[in-house]
Amino acid sequence: MENGSFLEGNGIIILILFFIMMMGGGFGGWGAGNNAAVQGALTRADVNDAITFQNIGNGIGNLANSVNVGFAGVQNSLGNLAGEMASTCCDIKATILADGQLTRQLIQDQTIQALRDKISDKDKEILVAQLAASQVAQTTQLENYIDTKLATPAA
């Protein structure tokens, strides 16, 4: 049993006994000589005041309990919110990482394709140069053949 629960449940009785002790000379005053004083010590107003104070005390206790329950709910909600934020943060990190990897792969693929295009262009240039050199060589051969035929008399 908690300290406050004993007083909350028995507060009226304790208060009444306190008034009896104050007005009637203690528990020993229950004899014939103090009986009138004890009967007159507690009026209806006194009992009503005691009940009112007890009700106020109970109301304050109930209000304190409600506030505690409310704050526990707020703390629980904050804990849930923190968990959701942590989960969302992890999801965002994973998404950023995946997007970064995709971007990196795209840049790498574009760079490789650009190098392939340059190599292809150089291969074309080399082929054109080889064809031109071949034509020059053939032309030179023909010119030499013609010059040789013209220089020798026909027999």
Q: Answer yes or no: is 24 within a domain.
A: no
Q: Answer yes or no: is 19 within a domain.
A: no
Cα–Cα distance measured from residue 142 to residue 147, given in angstroms and rounded to the nearest whole number = 8
Number of structural domains in the chain? 1
Helix/strand/coil for 133? helix
Domain that holds residue 69: 43-151
**What Rg do the C-alpha atoms of the chain give, in angstroms?**
55
Q: Answer yes or no: is 105 within a domain.
A: yes
Tokens in use for 66? 């409600």
Q: Quick one: CA torsion of 44, 45, 50, 53, rounded to 10 degrees? A: 140
- pLDDT tens for the chain, residues 1 to 155: 445 555 556 677 777 777 776 665 545 544 444 555 555 566 777 778 888 888 888 888 888 888 888 778 888 888 888 888 888 889 999 999 999 999 999 999 999 999 999 999 999 999 999 999 999 999 999 999 998 888 877 65
Q: How much is the pTM?
A: 0.40
Q: Answer yes or no: is 56 within a domain.
A: yes
